[in-house]
A and B are shown apart, each in its own frame.
Chain A
Amino acid sequence: MSIYVVPCCDSESERGVRAQLSALTSRMTRHGPCGEYAASQPTWRLWGEERVDGAIYTVYLKKVRYHRPTRSASSESDDEISHLEWETVRVRFVKAGTVERLVEALATDDGELESTYVNVFLATYRSFAECSQVLDLLLRRYEELAMDDVLPAATDTSHQHRKTLVACLHVWLDTYPEDFRQPPHHPALQQLLAFTQLHLPGSELHSKALQKLALFSAERNGVAGGAAGGAGGGAGTCLAAGMRVPAHHTSAYRLPHVPHRHFAEQLTRMDMELFKRLVPHQCLGAVWSRRDKDRSHDAATVLATVNQFNAVSFRVISTVLVEPNLRPVDRSDILASWLDIARELRVLKNFSSLKAIISGLQSNPVYRLRKTWAMLSKEKAELFEELARIFSEDNNRWAQRELLMREGTAKFADTVGENDRQLQKLLHERGSPGVSNGTIPYLGTFLTDLTMIDTAIPDTVADGLINFDKRRKEFEVLAQIKLLQGAANAYHLPTDPMFDRWFDSVIVLDDREAYQLSCQIEPPTNPPKERRQKKIIDSNNHGHRKNDSIASTSSSNSSQFYCETDGAGNAWKRDSLERRISPTRLSHGSSSSSIPSLDVSLSSANSGQKPANGKIPGMSPAYPNARTGPDFYIIRVTYESDCVETEGVVLYKSIMLSNNERTPQVIRNAMLKLNLDGDPDGYTLAQVLPDKEMVLPANANVYYAVNTAYNLNFILRPRRNQQDEAIVNGKAKNKRT
């Protein structure tokens, strides 16, 4: 049988391979390569399974049409049809095998490149083998074949086979260069170089490997950069000292009166950067949902996306709640404003931030504000329903999957349901947009699918063979992600650093804080009685349990602040910092601030302008049952450093202050927020008043000590030593650079 039975491919050039990948992925449906062919192609028939040593194959019979081999390829004349013939061929797909067999299968029996298989293999091999092991096997296979060369009969296939292996290496280097990074010594790359030096000197592969090595070493030495987009190399969104700007600029970005389209574009820009940087195989169930602490970095790009999603939701929640005294009608304007932004996100096909906003609006602290929602106009309420419907969990998120399928690679949004009146109106108004947009999916659906595949399908089959069909199944999902990543290049969005600054300046509330604020705005109708009781019993019977609230920092770590330039690595560091610190904090008995929230707020110290996150008075007396939430304020603390004065701008972090917290505890909270280590006794805390500072006594009840007639802005500074005593009012030395 001499017919190419796999989707054939020009193994001479990698471009052919890449074209194959895109052809493959664009064809991708919900069914696996095997299932897909079997189901949709009447000429394919399942024959059965074939077992050989170390591998199991699924075998199909396929009827193919082909040109008579005797005819020359150029004869595309009118009598072409008459030379078509049918033949039945057996097609084998690896179902399971040892690593050795799986590597062998990168080339077909005829030595041809099987592009689908190569793509699946390279996308998923990390779940069953190390990079070095696969490389080793690949190179050894090449060498074995090269030895065969002496036998004249085998030469053709063997030659072809080796060409295929080289093509695989090209695809690997091009598609997954990260595999070869392995700092500091890049052992796999070195091994590859040694190999090409010996067997393929002067080849394209050799120079490609050399280039990669040069790139990696340059990066290691901090010379170059940029090209590889490693973690932490993103565009600056943090408030580097030199980038600070006067606060009044950010006041243009104050909900509800914000440019909706612009906001949607900026959110999309942020999402797009993260999505393009996403490494699809980090989404695999074996990596993302089985990762433990040691392997957390394995899923860093996924985590970055999740953190951004949460960050958007938190901003929705806090902007709605943070001003407790707004009239319902004014607060509903904020809801409406987010809905307008969401609507624009729909047009931009950014389903990630769109869902994040909807989730924020549907979060309990916001959703329960009946009076506020009641003030929303009919159109806006309808819009909300329609947008929420996109993400309905019904029928395994059918609506969303369908939409993604239809619009994923389309140029612009054009799908609305027949009941979606507001969205119909929107698309009608906009007509066909001049520019085309990419698509940003809500990643969670893919993560769930991959997690469930990983859970449901075993890694190995009989005799411990690696279950490659599982990898095919996973690849279907990965291919969709890759496809959408490619489509995301269609976005052309401006960068507005002011937006980033606004984004970073919004306070982040954790679950409890948000709920407390919400209850302050609208007291609960059904005061919970049992919950209090239970806690008491609980601490009796479970004295050995540290504290149930500790859990909240690990499982419901809602307050994780994400800042892009931090890179995911730092996000994790903070996370672990929170974990490490929270038990200490809890032991001081402040339940209201048991979950640290990391956030930054920016405002001018002297402008006298009322900050967006101003003080929040204690809870309303309308609901006297104090257990729903103790009184608290949100105060803002800055660390005194040289740059505080330089530009008239102060970098504040917000913390909760509840009515039983004393000075050392508040200082400790502030230190946590400001990422300061050390002994709280080494610091003083002072409220900034218009004409002076009020230093808090060492063990005051801060809640009662603060002057609530003014903004609750505080300065934390190291306690002065004797020799520093002479330096007055905020000019004390500090060790920070």
Chain B
Amino acid sequence: MREYKIVVLGSGGVGKSALTVQFVQGIFVEKYDPTIEDSYRKQVEVDGQQCMLEILDTAGTEQFTAMRDLYMKNGQGFVLVYSITAQSTFNDLQDLREQILRVKDKDDVPMVLVGNKCDLEAERVVGKQQGANLANHFNCVFMETSAKAKISVNEVFYDLVRQINKKSPKEEKKKSNIRKPICQLL
């Protein structure tokens, strides 16, 4: 099974961890244990193919700035998240994207621009068109999501898988020796 390493990036508070947890755990959030081996991993079927997604969430370590390059180096696809309720989080993404392109030394990297918290329409400050424009400049897909209301969360990750497939269709067999969780709870 092919493995995909997805990195979720964005300013603090935009909902990165919420999106990750929502995607990985879905409705079983109560059982979530972030300290076990497969807590950021999820097997999904995209276009009839089984894929193993591993999410690299920078949650809690946003300020360890020197480590960001490594996340970026390891990531194959990127979710750039802002919150539609905070303009500054939108503005932050330009720099993040530049850093990704530098680290990857490429102009075209699988990426989705995500405007999260779209359930908070009343507090919206970043217009949908604004997001679409930015995605246009980034030459990437744009989606508005809500980790809370479970809107379009899976779609973000599926789209990335498709992008990665399109960009590097051949990279089939990366060893899939996924270790069993060492301390499985009953």
* A interface list, Cβ under 8 A from B: 29-31, 35, 38-39, 285, 288-290, 303, 306, 309-310, 313-314, 317, 356, 359-360, 362-364, 367-368, 393, 395-396, 398, 401, 444, 447-453, 455-457, 473, 477, 511, 515, 524-526, 528-531, 534, 537-538, 541-542, 545-546, 548-552, 554-558
Contacts and interface: CB of A to CB of B under 8 A. Distances in A.
B88 to A, nearest CB: 6
A397 B108 CA distance: 28
Given A35-B185, A452-B57, A395 B66 contact: no
Contact of A526 (B21, B39, B105): B105
A557 B137 CA distance: 24
B137 A448 contact: no
Would you list the 7 A-B pairs with minimal beta carbon distance, nearest first? A313-B66, A548-B94, A451-B60, A452-B34, A447-B60, A551-B92, A456-B32
Interface in B43-69: 56-57, 59-69
B183 A393 contact: no
B60 A548 contact: no
Contact of B37 (A356, A396, A555): A396
B17 interface: yes
Contacts of A306: 63-64
Given A448-B61, A452-B57, A556-B96, 8 more contacts: A359-B69, A360-B66, A447-B61, A455-B18, A534-B138, A545-B91, A549-B94, A551-B94
Contacts of A526: 105-107
Contacts of B141: none
Contacts of B63: 303, 306, 310, 557
Contact of A314 (B35, B66, B137, B182): B66
A359 B137 contact: no
B95 A367 contact: no
Given A531-B98, A555-B62, A363 B130 contact: no
Per DSSP, chain A at the interface is: helix
Interface centre among A360, A554, A556 (most CB of B within 10 A): A556
B25 interface: yes
B122 interface: no
Contacts of A285: 60
Contacts of B29: 456-457
Contacts of A457: 29-30, 32
Contacts of A447: 60-61
A310 B64 contact: yes
Contact of A537 (B33, B70, B137): B137
A310 B91 contact: no
A528 B107 contact: yes
A554 B88 contact: yes
Interface of B: 11-13, 17-18, 20-21, 25, 29-30, 32-41, 56-57, 59-74, 87-88, 90-96, 98-99, 101-103, 105-108, 130, 133-134, 137-139, 178-179, 182-183, 185-186
A451 B8 CA distance: 14
Contacts of A29: 183
A447 B134 CA distance: 31
Given A451-B17, A456-B32, A530 B67 contact: no
B21 A289 contact: no
A673 B26 CA distance: 48
A317 B12 contact: no
Nearest to A395: B37
A277 to B, nearest CB: 18
Contact of B91 (A396, A531, A541, A546): A546
B137 to A, nearest CB: 5
Contacts of A290: 13
Contacts of A473: 33
Q: Which of A288, A289, A356 has the most chain B CB within a 10 Å cutoff?
A: A289
Nearest to A401: B35
A444 B96 contact: no
Contact of B101 (A35, A531, A541, A550): A531
Given A456-B25, A551-B93, A393 B56 contact: yes
Nearest to B88: A554
Contacts of B32: 452-453, 456-457
Contacts of A449: 34-35, 60
A396 B38 contact: yes
Contacts of B69: 359, 362-364, 367
B31 to A, nearest CB: 9
A617 to B, nearest CB: 22
A152 B66 CA distance: 66
12 contacts: A30-B33, A30-B35, A31-B183, A364-B102, A367-B73, A368-B105, A396-B39, A451-B17, A452-B21, A455-B59, A528-B101, A534-B137
Contacts of A38: 186
B59 A289 contact: yes
Contacts of B105: 368, 524-526
Contact of A364 (B59, B73, B91, B182): B73
Given A356-B66, A456-B29, A558-B66, A529 B91 contact: no
Contacts of B13: 290
A546 B133 CA distance: 16
B94 A448 contact: no
Given A534-B137, A556-B68, A450 B91 contact: no
A549 B185 contact: no
Contacts of B178: 395
Nearest to A446: B60
Contacts of B40: 396
A130 B88 CA distance: 31
Contacts of A452: 17, 20-21, 32, 34, 39, 57, 59-60
A448 B102 contact: no
A519 to B, nearest CB: 9
Given A289-B12, A449-B34, A550-B91, A309 B98 contact: no
A457 B108 CA distance: 37
Contact of B137 (A309, A362, A541): A541
B11 A555 contact: yes
Contacts of B139: 530
